[in-house]
């Protein structure tokens, strides 16, 4: 069990500015839609404000900003964990400014408390975690590892379910249907191409974009590259393991909750030497998204995740700290 506690009544001790800035740098390693990194941070004394950066929202793919807030939620969890690793509890307030929804959270230092070994190990996974869109092996994921992932989601008020064979096949089919629907949207191709070119300017290596699935059994995305990326074919696992992350509601708070749960699940998977691939196509089309949690009363699917054992893959680059750290 890995508990990331908050609160504490004692007066906080000051964390050196360099360490607090380092925690922000760790937060920028969180996953985000198309590596858009739609977050900003402001350090104010012994607290860090976490902001959404609306300029980096992908309008065609994410018109409501749901995935933007999920991405910021992932960064928020990473920030909380990084501060916890430095020996402090945290007090986290979501949407502290009722007049500005882009101020997503304020994370204040609580009382000093040494991190437990499980918390420290989870924090160590921040630098190791990254999406892997290559083929996975057919080695099954142990039941004990799946239980740890479910527990990780539950600790952040989300629900993680493992797709059975019929649901898995439906998700793969739904992903293709969703991708066709998305391609029909105005601006979709241009937005993906612009995102890919921006990523290349930042030095994104080729492999994280993902090879083409020769068997078409895994829901991968071409990222709008024009001309198409060099063909990298290979035998993907014929029966991918698919997880569905869901929350009990579907507003901006639940989206942030989903992001925190997603990052906790991904980091927990990394600790188990599992490779992960967040898959967003099925949840970017409302009609498809509703089918992912059909029969589950009160649950809203927020993200699909493919997991398994794969070869190491390079990480994508991150924006420079000067681009995301706002002046006090």
**Model confidence over 121-161: pLDDT tens digits?**
999 999 999 988 888 888 999 999 999 999 999 999 999 99
pLDDT of residue 1 exceeding 80, the answer is no
Instruction: For residues 30 and 37, give the distance between their C-alpha atoms in angstroms, rounded to a whole number.
Output: 8
* 51 contact partners, CB below 8 Å, separation of at least 6: 39, 40, 41, 42, 72, 102, 103, 104, 326
Tokens of 292: 């992912």
Q: H-type helices in the chain, by residue range?
A: 17-27, 66-85, 117-124, 143-155, 165-183, 188-201, 252-271, 286-292, 321-324
Higher pLDDT, 3 or 77: 77
First to last CA, the chain: 37
What band does 218 get if pLDDT is binned at 50, 70 and 90? low
pTM of the shown model: 0.84
Phi, psi of 277 (to 5 degrees): -140, 105
Q: What is the pLDDT of residue 312?
A: 80
Handedness of CA 255, 256, 259, 260 (dihedral sign): negative
Tokens of 164: 């059975």
Q: What is the pLDDT of residue 185?
A: 58
Q: Is 41 helix (H, G, I), strand (E, B) or coil?
A: strand
DSSP code at position 56: G
Tokens of 199: 């990523």
Q: What is the pLDDT of residue 221?
A: 44
Q: What is the pLDDT of residue 182?
A: 60
Q: What is the pLDDT of residue 184?
A: 64
pLDDT digits (tens, 9 = 90+) for 259-295: 999 999 999 999 999 999 888 877 877 777 888 887 7
**pLDDT, averaged across the chain:** 82
pLDDT digits (tens, 9 = 90+) for 37-63: 999 999 999 999 999 999 999 888 888
What is the mean predicted confidence (pLDDT) over 6-10?
Answer: 51
Residue 176, class by beta-carbon neighbours within 10 Å (0-12 exposed, 13-18 middle, 19+ buried)? middle
Q: Is 249 helix (H, G, I), strand (E, B) or coil?
A: coil
- Pair 230, 187: CB distance under 8 Å: no
pLDDT of residue 212 exceeding 50, the answer is no
Instruction: For residues 321 and 53, give the distance between their C-alpha atoms in angstroms, rounded to a whole number.
Output: 14
């Amino acid at each position: 069990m890995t508990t990331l506690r908050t609160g504490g009544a004692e007066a906080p001790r000051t964390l050196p500015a360099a360490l607090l800035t380092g925690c922000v740098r760790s937060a920028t390693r969180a996953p985000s839609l198309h590596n858009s990194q739609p977050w900003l941070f402001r350090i104010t004394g012994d607290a860090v404000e976490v902001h959404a950066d609306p300029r980096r929202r992908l309008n065609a793919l994410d018109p409501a900003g749901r995935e933007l807030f999920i991405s910021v939620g992932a960064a928020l969890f990473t920030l909380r964990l990084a501060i916890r690793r430095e020996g402090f509890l945290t007090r986290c307030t979501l949407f502290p400014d009722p007049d500005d929804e882009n101020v997503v959270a304020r994370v204040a230092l609580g009382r000093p408390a040494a991190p437990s070994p499980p918390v420290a190990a989870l924090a160590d996974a921040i630098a190791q975690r990254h999406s892997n869109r290559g083929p996975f092996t057919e080695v099954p994921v142990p039941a004990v590892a799946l239980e740890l992932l479910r527990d990780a989601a539950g600790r952040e008020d989300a629900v993680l379910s493992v797709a059975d064979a019929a649901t898995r096949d439906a998700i793969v089919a739904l992903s293709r249907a969703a991708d066709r629907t998305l391609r029909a949207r105005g601006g979709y191709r241009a937005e993906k191409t612009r995102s890919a070119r921006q990523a290349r300017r930042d030095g994104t290596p080729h492999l994280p974009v993902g090879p083409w699935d020769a068997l078409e059994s895994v829901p991968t995305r071409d990222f709008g590259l024009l001309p198409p990326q060099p063909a990298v074919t290979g035998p993907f696992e014929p029966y991918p393991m698919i997880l569905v992350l869901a929350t009990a509601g579907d507003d901006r708070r639940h989206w942030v909750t989903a992001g925190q749960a997603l990052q906790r699940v991904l980091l927990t998977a990394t600790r188990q030497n599992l490779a992960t691939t967040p898959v967003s196509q099925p949840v970017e089309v409302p009609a498809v998204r509703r089918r992912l949690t059909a029969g589950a009363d009160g649950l809203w699917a927020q993200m699909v995740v493919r997991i398994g054992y794969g070869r190491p893959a390079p990480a994508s680059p991150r924006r420079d700290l000067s681009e995301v750290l706002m002046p006090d």
